[in-house]
């Protein structure tokens, strides 16, 4: 039996670095699961779109003419559950499911929260020189700077991630946002100085470059260290595979439960 196809759904950006980073990350996923069919689609700005990829999958699959069903796991390339995960992506997938009955589409969970995301943030901070020793880490404050959201669930998730990061030995960790919410990156940098942190590092809690990550970088001008975006880190690639496998397992469990109900009925 063929494994379900994996469709990685990214936001998209006019910034060419965004799509290049997404494709590099998906390339790492393919290397981790060489037997898995992995596709990439974008909600906006970049091609191909989600409907375009799903239409191609429905048309090209062996047995399509005989009405065979192809399973697809749509994985949002998002760190928190906010508007895109709760509204945009479900709407696009529902519309495609109605038009393409040969596809059985399941939306996977967003990437966060996860220890693998914390590990990816730590990797970027260490690569940027934020913590050459445990002593330096204890005197360094970190701004965990995300794109921003008006969704309370997403804001709470960022705050919890900041608390988890603080437990790994940093002087202090404060969340910040490039849009929609406060504080801004530059305000969090000043607050960490006021907290008594000798050094301040800014860790962009975003996946790929673009307009909002550039705004985070501009707000980090008074910080001592600016880490890179999460990008195609090995931890992020492993997390995509993990979310895919969780979605596949959940779908199988649900079908098995439905089968038991039908038999007992």
Same domain for 212 and 122, yes or no, is yes
265 has pLDDT over 60: no
**Angle 110-153-195 (CA atoms, 0-180°, nearest 5)?**
105
Domain count, the chain: 2
pLDDT tens-digit map of 67-85: 688 999 999 999 999 888 9
pTM of the model: 0.93
Identify which of 220, 236, 228 has the alpha carbon closest to the alpha carbon of residue 141: 220
At 160, give phi and psi (nearest 5°): -65, -40
Domain of residue 191, CATH code: 3.40.50.1400
Same domain for 139 and 168, yes or no, is yes
Domain that holds residue 171: 115-226
63 has pLDDT over 70: no
Q: Which residues of 247-257 are buried (b: 16+ CB within 10 A; e: fewer)?
A: bbeebeeeeee
Same domain for 171 and 222, yes or no, is yes
């Amino acid at each position: 039996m063929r494994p379900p196809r994996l469709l990685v759904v990214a936001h998209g950006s006019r910034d060419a670095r965004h799509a290049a980073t997404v494709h590099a990350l998906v390339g790492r996923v393919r290397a981790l699961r060489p037997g898995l069919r992995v596709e990439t689609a974008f909600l906006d700005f970049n091609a191909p779109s989600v409907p375009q990829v799903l239409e191609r999958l429905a048309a090209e699959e062996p047995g399509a003419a005989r009405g065979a069903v192809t399973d697809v796991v749509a994985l949002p390339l998002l760190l928190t559950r906010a508007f895109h995960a709760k509204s945009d992506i479900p709407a696009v997938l529902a519309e495609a499911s109605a038009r393409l009955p040969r596809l059985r589409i399941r939306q996977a969970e967003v990437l966060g929260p996860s220890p693998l995301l914390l590990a990816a943030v730590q990797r970027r901070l260490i690569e940027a020189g934020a913590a050459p020793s445990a002593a330096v880490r204890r005197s360094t404050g970190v701004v965990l700077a995300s794109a921003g959201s008006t969704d309370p669930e997403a804001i709470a998730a960022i705050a919890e991630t900041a608390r988890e990061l603080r437990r790994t030995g940093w002087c202090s960790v404060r969340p910040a946002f490039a849009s929609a919410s406060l504080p801004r990156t530059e305000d969090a940098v000043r607050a960490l100085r006021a907290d008594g942190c000798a050094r301040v590092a800014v860790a962009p809690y975003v996946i790929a470059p673009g307009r909002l990550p550039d705004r985070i970088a501009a707000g980090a001008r008074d910080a001592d260290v600016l880490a890179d975006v999460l990008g195609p880190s090995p931890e992020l690639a492993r997390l995509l595979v993990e979310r895919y496998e969780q979605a596949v397992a959940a779908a199988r469990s649900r079908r098995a439960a439905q089968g038991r109900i039908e038999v007992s009925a």
